[in-house]
Amino acid sequence: MTLSARRNLLVMNVQMAVSLLTTIILIRWLFPGIAQAEFAVAVLPVAVLHMFRFIGMTVVMPDQLDDAISYRAKVQIAVGDLAVALTALLLTFAIVEGFSAGAIRALAWLFVITCLADMAVIQRVFIREQFWDKKMGVVWLFQVLLSVPMVMGEIFVLYRLVTG
């Protein structure tokens, strides 16, 4: 691994650590009772945040990511982000419109499964394409800023689904 790649990985890890601490502080401040809240109330902030995942589709626009990253990888990222955004949109709509608890839980499962599948694809693409050694511009800012709260939210929804 080159020196610049190691430096990029170090910076990314520091950014992710700060994002993790920031996310924990914000969740405890803004949603102090979220762990005890009714299921639909608890998962709503997570779903709302994920509705904006469609922004990830910008990776297929010219000059958004390094040209060394394959177009196939960019399409995989874009499709995954769109799928997560659409399942989050459906879940949010169901919660806001007062669907039954069973329907909300079913849509939450669809959302979590889509998120986990997307995460698996992204990690495979991230490693294969060696993203840490590429030019990513503003896309990098979104990746670091939002990935930690999104992953924590996905784990939280899965936790609430499994524990009832």
pLDDT at 46: 95
User: Is the pLDDT reported for residue 143 higher than 80?
Assistant: no
pLDDT tens, residue by residue, 67-90: 889 999 999 999 999 999 999 999
pLDDT tens, residue by residue, 37-63: 999 999 999 999 999 988 888 888 888
The domain tally of the chain equals 1
E strand or H helix at 106: helix 101-129
pLDDT tens, residue by residue, 81-117: 999 999 999 999 999 999 999 999 999 999 999 999 9
pLDDT at 86: 98
* Average pLDDT for the chain: 89
Joined together, the tokens standing for residue 64 give 């958004």
Q: Which domain holds residue 55?
A: 3-163
pLDDT at 55: 84
Q: Cβ(108)–Cβ(156) under 8 Å?
A: no
Question: Which residues, 6+ apart, have CB-to-CB distance to 35 below 8 Å?
Answer: 42
Q: Cβ(54)–Cβ(85) under 8 Å?
A: yes
CA pair distance 89, 23, nearest whole angstrom? 22
